[in-house]
Structure 1
Amino acid sequence: MSRQTLAAELRAVLDPLSDEVLKATPQASDYDLNPSIRPDQTRPLRPAAVLVPVIWREPGATVLLTRRADTLNSHTGQVAFPGGRIEPGETVVEAALREAHEEVGLDPAKIHPLGLSDVYETGTGFCVTPVVAVVDTPFELTLNPDEVAAAFETPWDFLMDTGNYRKESMVWNGAERWFWAMRWDDIGTERYIWGATAGMIRRLQQRMARLSGGGG
């Protein structure tokens, strides 16, 4: 598959680049696997955006992910997409590009947004819009040590393979909570992709599977 083919397939399955998504009800959430602890549906959610950076490499595409800094107050050390809160007056695309530049130094001129994946509600009360984009190569990264401990690329084919997903659980606040997880061996370093990040990737995988008539 070429970069052009992958970009065309992504455009075919993604929602258009529009701010109307800010008014939408989340299409997926951390509570999909935990319906018994779902909070009040009327709780206010804070709008956020993440960038899903798809990079064309030989022999295939990859997705850029980060490991959050160990000094952060929340989600310490977890794997995530570059992203954060949407500031007043920003579009979801503007927020995703700004956060990617602030966190890993990714040049906005190298990023070409294709569309939006499923809006995702996190257990921490964020309504996250994933902005899927292709990234021109070569590029340089400059990590913000206050936010990011590492950046790495995971093969697109690995993330789109349902056989790599596992339902796992942990006890939090006295209750068992389930989540999706994947374990990627990054040249001897295990990258544990789980929670909201894995949930958003899985929803993107399900969109791609519908394009080919497959399940997920």
Structure 2
Amino acid sequence: MSCSSLRQRLEAHLDPVSDWTPERTAIRSDYDLNPGTERPAHELRPAAVLVPIIAHAEGPTVLMTRRSDSLASHTGQIAFPGGRLDPGETAGQAALREAFEEVALDPGVVELLGLGDPYETVTGFLVTPVVGWLTAPPLVTPSPAEVAEVFEAPWDFLMDPANHRRDFYDPESGPRRWFWAMPYRERYIWGATAGILKGLFGRLYGDEPEPLAAAAEDAA
């Protein structure tokens, strides 16, 4: 097998990039594991992230970042390149622009294959995951102001339900908050990033009678 089976699955199960509109609504969210949490009454701000899948000969990986420790929020967290949409931008355009600004990823080496499920965060963003395909490892240079590290995580690890944990923390006030986590080596992938990956797993393999076997085949 090669990465071709994964590419075919992505193209068959994701929404076309051209289908994006500002009217898309959240399908998954930070509230999925916390159904009793009250949601603030505010308009969600549109954002997009790039989920860059690299087709290595030995199996696909996903390019991810660790945010700078000097940022005002979400310091040190694992994330996909991404951010708010500028006026007039589509989700695909924003994802490519943010990836270039954050890690100098050349948009010309990324083929956008489709859109994942829109994801609502507790911070008030509606995030569109934009899945990109790269045929070779890219040259990247992290922006020191935004990104501390760029790394790759294996697709088969991220798509293995055995690595999908429900973790929690207890805030100073309010009920316990649950979230998805996918610890990979010394890196703790959690929150919206893990939730988006969990959404991709459901989108791609949720109808498979043996989802783990299907994911392993795509990663071969």
The TM-score range, normalised by the shorter chain, is: over 0.9
Paired AA for residue 64 in structure 1: L
Count of paired positions = 211
Q: Do structure 1's residue 194 and structure 2's residue 190 form an aligned pair?
A: yes
Structure-1 separation of matches of 2:210 and 2:123? 32
CA distance in 1, matches of 2:6, 2:19: 24
**CA 1:18/1:146 → structure 2, altered by over 3 Å: closer, same or farther?**
same
What are the residue-to-residue correspondences of 1:80-99 with 2, within 5 Å?
Answer: 80-99=79-98
Match in the other structure for 2:13:
13
The separation in 1 between residues aligned to 2:21 and 2:13, in whole angstroms, is 15
- Deviation string 1:148-204 (CA, Å, 9 cap, x unpaired) is 00010000000000010110101224131100001111xxxx010000000000000
Task: Structure 2 unaligned segments of length 5 or more: list them.
Answer: 213-220
Runs of 4+ in 1 over 2 A off after TM superposition: 18-22, 210-216
CA distance, structure 2, for counterparts of residue 38 and residue 214 of structure 1: 36
8 Å contact kept, 1:19–1:92 = no
Cα shift at 1:25: 1.5
Q: Mapping of 1:70-81 within 5 angstroms?
A: 70-81=69-80
Local SS of the residue matching 2:102: helix
| Aligned twin of 1:111 | 110
Partner-residue secondary structure (3-state), 1:53 = strand
Distance of 1:47 and 1:192 partners within structure 2: 26
CA distance in 1, matches of 2:61, 2:110: 14
Alpha-carbon spacing, 1:64–1:168, altered in 2? closer, same or farther (3 Å): same
Structure-2 residue corresponding to 1:179: 179
User: Deviations along 1:38-88, whole A, 9 cap, x unmatched?
Assistant: 314x52000000000000113110000000000001101000000000000
Contact 2:95 2:130 in 1 (8 A): yes
SS for the counterpart of 1:193 is coil
Question: What is the TM-score with the length of structure 2 in the denominator?
Answer: 0.91
Contact 2:112 2:133 (C-alpha < 8 Å) held by counterparts: yes
Give the letter for the 1:11 counterpart. Answer: E
Stretches of structure 1 that go unaligned for 5 or more consecutive residues are none
Q: CA deviation at 1:112?
A: 0.3
Residue 136 of structure 1: CA displacement? 2.8
- Using the size of structure 1 for normalisation, the TM-score is 0.93
Q: Note closer, same or farther for the CA distance 1:11–1:43 as it changes in structure 2 (3 Å cut).
A: same
Q: Which has the higher strand share?
A: 1
CA 1:118–1:19 in structure 2 vs 1: closer, same or farther (change >3 Å)?
A: same
Change in Cα spacing, 1:211 to 1:12, as seen in structure 2 (3 Å) is: farther
CA distance in 1: counterparts of 2:167 and 2:9, whole angstroms: 30
Map of 1:36 onto structure 2: 36
Does 2:142 match 1:143?
A: yes
Judge conservation of contact 1:17–1:115 (CA < 8 Å) in 2.
yes
Shift of 1:3: 2.5
Q: Give the percent of matched residue pairs that are identical in Structure 1 and Structure 2.
A: 54
- Whether the 8 Å CA contact 2:67–2:77 is kept in 1: the answer is yes
